[in-house]
Amino acid sequence: MTQELFARYSFLLDRTARKVKQYAQQQFKTGEFDVTVDQWLVLKNLSENELLSQTELANLVFKDNPTLTRIIDLLCKKNYVERVPHPQDRRSFQLHLTESGISKVSELRPKILEIREKAWENLTGKDFEEFKRILDTIYQNLDGQVSE
Amino acid sequence: MTQELFARYSFLLDRTARKVKQYAQQQFKTGEFDVTVDQWLVLKNLSENELLSQTELANLVFKDNPTLTRIIDLLCKKNYVERVPHPQDRRSFQLHLTESGISKVSELRPKILEIREKAWENLTGKDFEEFKRILDTIYQNLDGQVSE
DNA sequence: TACCAATAGTTAGTGTGACAAATATATAAA
DNA sequence: TTTATATATTTGTCACACTAACTATTGGTA
C-alpha cells in the first residue's frame, strides 16, 4: 500500500540523520577537535554573525532556547565563547567568540568541509537540489502545525 | 563554493528529521497514544517479528543496544512487552508483545499512518523514490566507516 | 578440564532535544 | 504609577544517542 510505503520516510530520515551525525562525531573525536557536532554548528554561526543574542542564535540554528543555553554553557566552559551583558537590555546577552574560539573556527573549518564531502560521493549537484527541495517541502508541511 | 553548499546537507537533514519527530510526537501526545515515537517503532517491528532477541531487534530498527535496552524497559513498565528467557541461551531474551501490546499496535497503526501522510503533501511517488535513493546513498557512503 | 575469545545484555557518563515552569526584566496599557 | 503582558534566559524532567566498561554466558580449543 502506498500509505505504508510513504510512512517509511520518517525511518529513513531518522536513520540517515543519525548516521551523518555519528560519522562526523567520530571524525571529530579522531581529530581531537574538542567540540561536538552541535557545538561546531553554534561556533560556526557565531563566527559569521557576531553579537547575536541567544534567542537570535537559537532561531538561526533551529534549536530551542534551553538547548542553546546548555550548548553555550559548554562553549563558555571551554573558553571559546563569552556572554557579554547587553548594553540596553539587562535580560539578554550578546555572544561573541573569544580569541581561542576564533582560531578554533579557522582551524576546524577546512577539516569539517572535508568530512562533510564524504557523504556526497556518487551524488550530483542536481541530486542536491532535489534533496533540498524535498526536505524543505517536508519541513514546510509540518511547520506551523506545532505551536505557531 | 560547491563544497560549502554540500556541507549544508547535514544541517537540512538534521533540521528536517527533528521536525518530523517533533510533529509526530506532538500528535502522539494530543491523541494520548501513551508511547513515544521511538517506542512505537519498536512496538511495530515486534508486531511484525515475534520472538526476536534484543540484538536482532536493535539491528532491525538501527538502534544501539543500550538505547534499545531502555526502550524495552519502558515498554515492559507500560506492560506492552515481555522479556522471556531464551530456552537455549541464558544470556538472551525473546521479546514478545503482551495482549495489551497487541491491541495497542492495532489501535495506533491507522492513526499513525494518517499522521505520517501530512509530511508528504505536495510530493509525489517519484519524489519518494529520489528521496529514498539519495538518503540510502548517503547512508552507504558513511556506513562501514564507523567502527566496522 | 582449563582457558579464552566472542556474544547478549546492562550500567554509567555526557550531550542533545522537547516541553513546562520559573525568574528577571522590559514595555504597553490603564 | 500601577498593572498587565511580553520577552530573554534558565532550570527541571524525561527520552534518546553514543561510548566505554562491566557481568554473565557460550563455544571453541589446547
- The answer, yes or no, to whether residue B68 has pLDDT greater than 50, is yes
Tell me how far apart the terminal alpha carbons of chain B are, to the nearest angstrom.
Answer: 33
Q: What is the mean pLDDT of chain B?
A: 93
Which residues 28-57 of B are in CB contact (within 8 Å) with A? 41
Task: Mark the nucleotides of strand D covered by protein, meaning any atom under 7 Å from a CB.
Answer: 7-13, 15-20, 24-27
Phi–psi pair at A130, nearest 5 degrees: -60, -50
What is the set of domains in chain A, with CATH numbers? 14-120 (1.10.10.10)
Q: Where are the beta strands (DSSP E) in chain B?
A: 81-85, 93-97
* CB-nearest partner of B113 from A7, A12, A122: A7
Q: Give residue for cell 531464551.
A: B86
* CB-nearest partner of A19 from B117, B119, B142: B142
Confidence band (pLDDT; 50, 70, 90) for A8?
A: confident
Average the pLDDT over B75-100 and give the result.
95
- Residues in chain B with CB shorter than 8 Å from the CB of A45 are none
Spacing of A86 CA from C25 C1' in Å = 12
| Residue A79 CB partners (closer than 8 Å, separation 6+) | A98, A100, A101
- Residues in chain B with CB shorter than 8 Å from the CB of A127 are 130, 134
- The answer, yes or no, to whether residue B3 has pLDDT greater than 60, is yes
Average the pLDDT over A92-109 and give the result.
96
pLDDT for res B50: 85
Distance from CA of A88 to the nearest CA of B (A): 33
What does the alpha-carbon distance between residue B40 and residue B144 come to, in Å, rounded to a whole number?
A: 28
What does the alpha-carbon distance between residue B49 and residue B45 come to, in Å, rounded to a whole number?
A: 6
Average the pLDDT over A27-42 and give the result.
96
Average the pLDDT over A108-133 and give the result.
94
- The answer, yes or no, to whether residue B122 has pLDDT greater than 80, is yes
pLDDT for res B105: 97
pLDDT for res B1: 57
pLDDT for res B6: 77
| Residue A66 CB partners (closer than 8 Å, separation 6+) | none
Digit-coded pLDDT (tens) for A48-77: 998 999 999 999 999 999 999 999 999 999
Confidence band (pLDDT; 50, 70, 90) for A1?
A: low
pLDDT for res B148: 35
CB contact under 8 A, B145 and A17: no
* CB-nearest partner of B142 from A14, A20, A112: A20
Q: State the count of interchain CB pairs (< 8 A) between A and B.
A: 168
Average the pLDDT over B49-63 and give the result.
95
Spacing of A7 CA from C8 C1' in Å = 31
- The answer, yes or no, to whether residue B145 has pLDDT greater than 60, is no
Query: CB of B77 within 8 Å of any CB in chain A?
Result: no
